[in-house]
Structure 1
Amino acid sequence: MSRVGAAAVSLLVAVALLAGCVGNQPWEPDPWQGERPDRLTIATGGTSGIYHGYGQELAEVLTERYGIETEVLATGGSVDNLQLLAAGEADVAFSAADAVADAVDGEGDFDVPVEVHALARVYDDFAHLVVPADSDVEELADLRGLRVSVGAPRSGTSLIAGRVLKAAGVPMSDLRVAELGITESVDALRGGSLDAVFWSGGLKTPGLVELSAEVPLRLVPLDVVVDQLRREHGPGYRHGVVPQGVYGVTADVGTLAVPNILVAGPGLPDAVAQGLVATLFDARTEIAAQVPSAALLDRSRAIYTDPAELQPGALRYYRAVKP
């Protein structure tokens, strides 16, 4: 089945499942069903990115409300997180949908398929190609010969950067490549040891917000490769826009967007998955006060987690709260 066909089937299954919900069923007073865990580990990303901030705020809520000891792992990002899930070193993790697709299919950085269950689609990532405002880089081809960070190894940024460059006909070998996470990339761009930085993250990424207050920045448009990536990798990729004013940019910038999913490994008990999803929504306003992307969490969209199927406990939550 094609990736497009699989996405359509996934959407129909989600609708059918929710159609069978009992509309007025009250939500349970104990979302953990008496199985509240003592400890959880959340795999996030670089410390200047949204994954990490989101994970920290969620962990704080879990600890303060329920006494759950929650460890937040700073990681390389999506691929690293999924590998931690597969190894049993994390209970839940943030990942971009394209990396989840590779994990489920056993492709790319994954030698064998990984069993991944979705808790919620949380917000969308936007691909960034960041340069100083006075840079001569206007398009992807202009990167040849320059010092470019393509993201940390095993990160979602690295995955997207490689696909974007390939679609644009710019081999990695034509660049002076650095494999840095967002924190290190921001520091290097600030210090002048990089000419450009690839980053895939939500708006507004804290490290870039801080940098833009010190160094005028510009984003290079990436929308020219979106249609090709959709043909090659499926409808998980879509056209997106970084609005004028974000990071000080003076006009809207067309780019590539991809959903982010909070995922779990096969060992997470259904009751724990249910409790996590309930907490995610119950604390949405509180978390969004520190991580604005959390405000984008929406029950009507959270169930569309293709290519990963909803975890049964998560599905139970969505059925219970459906109007």
Structure 2
Amino acid sequence: MKISANRTLRFALVWGFVLLVITSAVVGLMRRDRLPSTIRVATGEEHGLYHQVWLAIKPLLEEELGREVELRTTTGSVVNRQLLAAGEVDIAMMQGDQLLGGQLEHDATLEIVAPLYPEPLLVVAPRGTPIESIRQLEGSPVYLGPANSGSRLSAQELFSHFHVHVVEPIDDTPHDSFLSPLESGVVDAAIVVTGLQNRDVNSLLDSGKFDLVSIPESQGYADRSIQWQSYTIPTGYFSGAPTTPAQPVETLATAGLVVVTDKASNTLVNAMLEVFYEHGLRTKFANLIPRSQALDWCPIEPHEVSRGYFNPVDRLSSIAAMMESMAATKELLFALGAGLFLLWRRTERIRKRDHNKKLQAEKDRLDLLLQKTLDIERAQMRTTDPKQLRKMLDEVTNIKLRALQELTDEELYADQAFSIFLMQCSNLISKIQLKIISLTGSNGDLASIDPIG
């Protein structure tokens, strides 16, 4: 019996392991593609382009997913990056140069869904000033953007590269716009990294009082970085009078990226891509990067769902790889199934063998009990003592009860030998009862005994 218990334990452990593997795989897939009940998005300042674009995206994504989308305003890319990494939001808008860390440590768990639009680095100065290059800002008061914004970090890195030292004025006055210090005359210039459709930038430059300053060395700076590209703002892009800018402006541009973590749901990523590129969003925001150019604006490889969406050839390769994987998985599952079948067959043989051994032991026990009834039957034939006969009657009854209690195999109950044993017990009980009656002339003391059993 100890050997049988060990085999049963091993069988249970094998099946437990198989179920654990299957359960882990199912839970992993469910966790990977589970949508949050409320989708939280870190955008930017309320008047900024990040937030304005997401106000247009919000109802489209809610309709696509059947989930509420909650927009959280922040001071910009740096805070967005921290919120996303901490799991406090599900999606974050981020400048491309800040995704890889900027002055922070790179976080490999962040993945790009899509680059929404170019974000040029705009150096804005009052029109008519002699400032024609950022090198002429040496020693000047310059507004670099709000604290914890990507614009500030980008401006600091730019000035550091060109060895230009500027003065940041101490100004505790809250601003409705990141360009308010420029309008109030507190600074000689302001730097901001934003999309060209930013309402505040357009309002400022449409006034005709300000112009953009070129960065002639932009191509060289871009060639040293994967986050920046050389970018030209054409003459007259803004509707100011006089023409703004007065001539083409060479500058740098990164991209406004939609970023998630590597634990984001594939369903969520796919739904965002469909909203960005298949719901006419470019009719509201003309500067949105076309799907065909999206990969050119990604500083690193985007999310696997995005790669397949932007590059159909890559998607076909992924499908082919998946098919190969499925074929390999099919073979693995077949081998696993065959192994489990053989294990089941072997387990069944062991179980059947153990059962047969138990059944044979009970049959042997039945034979012994039957032999005892035969011995009693022979003994009762040789006695005429009622007292001895009553004792024999009790022994037969006890033998029958022991058989019913100790012999538990259902297969034995259907065996003819068991039926013969019960019939033998019943006949012997009846025979002894009748003999006692014939000897004593009374059956009052036998009334409680069922002769049939």
Task: Sort the TM-score into its range (normalised by shorter chain).
Answer: 0.7 to 0.9
Aligned: 1:311 with 2:303: yes
- Return closer, same or farther for 1:175/1:144 CA change in 2, 3 Å cut-off: farther
CA separation in 2, counterparts of 1:115 and 1:164? 27
- 8 Å Cα contact 1:116-1:308 kept in structure 2: no
- 8 Å Cα contact 1:50-1:291 kept in structure 2: no
Aligned: 1:115 with 2:106: no
1:122 alignment partner, SS class: strand
> In structure 2, what is the equivalent of residue 87 of structure 1?
86
> In structure 1, what is the equivalent of residue 162 of structure 2?
168
> In structure 2, what is the equivalent of residue 236 of structure 1?
227
CA separation in 2, counterparts of 1:301 and 1:256? 17
- Return closer, same or farther for 1:220/1:268 CA change in 2, 3 Å cut-off: same
**Pairwise mapping of residues 265-284 of structure 1 onto structure 2 (< 5 A)?**
265-283=261-279
- 8 Å Cα contact 1:167-1:225 kept in structure 2: no
- Offset of 1:123 from its aligned partner? 2.2
Range moving further from structure 2, 40-49 or 122-131: 40-49
**Pairwise mapping of residues 1-323 of structure 1 onto structure 2 (< 5 A)?**
37-64=36-63, 66-102=65-101, 108-110=103-105, 113-172=107-166, 174-176=167-169, 183-228=176-221, 230-231=223-224, 234-247=225-238, 248-283=244-279, 285=280, 287-294=281-288, 296-298=289-291, 300-304=292-296, 306-318=298-310
2:129 alignment partner, SS class: coil
- Return closer, same or farther for 1:81/1:89 CA change in 2, 3 Å cut-off: same
Report percent identity of matched pairs. 23
2:302 partner letter: L
RMSD: 3.0
- Offset of 1:219 from its aligned partner? 0.6
- Return closer, same or farther for 1:89/1:226 CA change in 2, 3 Å cut-off: farther
CA separation in 1, counterparts of 2:146 and 2:228? 21
- Return closer, same or farther for 1:117/1:301 CA change in 2, 3 Å cut-off: same
1:292 alignment partner, SS class: coil
Larger radius of gyration: 2
- Return closer, same or farther for 1:164/1:292 CA change in 2, 3 Å cut-off: same
Give the count of matched residue pairs: 279
- Offset of 1:203 from its aligned partner? 1.8
1:274 partner letter: N
1:123 partner letter: Y
> In structure 1, what is the equivalent of residue 13 of structure 2?
none
Structure 1 unmatched runs, 5+: 1-33
| Greater helix share, structure number | 2
Q: TM-score, normalised by structure 1?
A: 0.75
> In structure 2, what is the equivalent of residue 16 of structure 1?
none
CA separation in 2, counterparts of 1:228 and 1:181? 33
Range moving further from structure 2, 121-130 or 44-53: 44-53
| Greater strand share, structure number | 1
Structure 2 unmatched runs, 5+: 1-32, 239-243, 317-453
Q: TM-score, normalised by structure 2?
A: 0.55
